[in-house]
Structure 1
Amino acid sequence: MQNYKDKTELIEEIRKRYLLYDQEFDDIKEKEKNLLKSGIDKTPSQNISYQIGWTHLLLQWEADEKKGIEVKTPTPDYKWNNLKGLYQSFYNEYASYSLAEQRVLLQKQVDEIIEWIEKLDDKILFEAEQRKWATTPAKWPVWKWIHINTVAPFKNFRTQLRKWKK
């Protein structure tokens, strides 16, 4: 997994990867948003819904912990062994949005994540066990949770969108 020397580098990578990912939607027509193509496991709408869902959860975990609410990851309704059900809930939740609306929503959440990172001190961001929601047997620091829910899928899902458009 990629490492970051500081929060500025993490923020720059999120911005870069998000912009490249978002640009893939520029030439996808609204009428194609639910088109599933052979060899690709998500429609364009599902692809971006997945991103909206995970970025929302990341922000929600942090907001809930700050309010003193016990966070159950990934959600109270879904366990880690039922991610397919969680993904389907994302697809269902955002299916009625146009691609343009989905893009705006994801942009807003990426902006919120960047604002959140800017406010975190380095200890919370880069040292393990600084947030209850991020404390797992793997002992990932918060930055890894952010990376795995932003940069990594922006790269991987951009590739899927490019294959979908061929």
Structure 2
Amino acid sequence: MPIPTSKSELLGAITDRFAKLDRALDAVPAELADEKTMEGHAKGTFMSPNNLVSYLIGWNVLVLKWLEHDRNGETVIFPEVGYKWNQLGELAQKFYRDYSEHSFDENRDQLARVKDRLIAEISERTDDELYGSPWHGKWTKGRMIQFNSSSPYENARGRIRKWLKQKTL
């Protein structure tokens, strides 16, 4: 799928890639959802399918936070307060912990809800706001949203499919 360059393309990418991810997650047996046998986001770590869903929730919530701060005229701290771009492995571990109390099904429901909130936020913006000028470095707001929503959905789908094959499921 090409990189989105408009609001409609961004919304389409998020919707399409989420639907494909959701179908892949349907194939994860409940009894294996918390098994940490999938390569993690930090070198030398392992995660479970539930951790992967937690990671996606964390990034989507973070994007919503960025958009809220931007809308309110507040400084947006990228990627997150206390983290630098070279500390994304540590940030992933934080996301795993943030949602570790929830079951796989609960986290999947939460991911769907936060994705819907993200779609609503994007829908309120114009093409020009999303793609008309840089927002963080050389990246537009639309590209930053895509980097942290539809692209990770696609990556996560690939990880789940690979893990399912390894499990012969």
1:15-54 equivalence runs, <5 A: 15-37=15-37, 40-41=39-40, 42-54=47-59
* Aligned counterpart, 1:153: 152
Q: Please say if residues 34 and 104 of structure 2, whose CA atoms lie closer than 8 Å, have aligned partners that are also in contact.
A: no
1:62-141 equivalence runs, <5 A: 62-129=67-134, 134-136=135-137, 139-141=138-140
Q: Distance in 1 between matches of 2:136 and 2:27?
A: 40
When residues 84 and 3 of structure 1 are mapped into structure 2, their CA distance, relative to the original with a 3 A threshold, is closer
**Cα displacement (A) at 1:83:** 1.3
Q: Distance in 2 between matches of 1:30 and 1:69?
A: 41
Structure 1 gap ranges (5+): none
* Aligned counterpart, 1:165: 164
Q: Please say if residues 4 and 13 of structure 2, whose CA atoms lie closer than 8 Å, have aligned partners that are also in contact.
A: no
Offset from partner CA, 1:83-140 (integer Å, 9 cap, x none) = 11111100001111111111111111111111111110111111223xxxx322xx11
Runs of 4+ in 1 over 4 A off after TM superposition: none
Give the TM-score normalised by the residue count of structure 1: 0.87
**Cα displacement (A) at 1:24:** 1.4
Q: Please say if residues 4 and 143 of structure 2, whose CA atoms lie closer than 8 Å, have aligned partners that are also in contact.
A: no
Give the TM-score normalised by the residue count of structure 2: 0.86
Q: Distance in 2 between matches of 1:105 and 1:144?
A: 23
Q: Please say if residues 128 and 135 of structure 1, whose CA atoms lie closer than 8 Å, have aligned partners that are also in contact.
A: no
Q: How many residues align?
A: 159
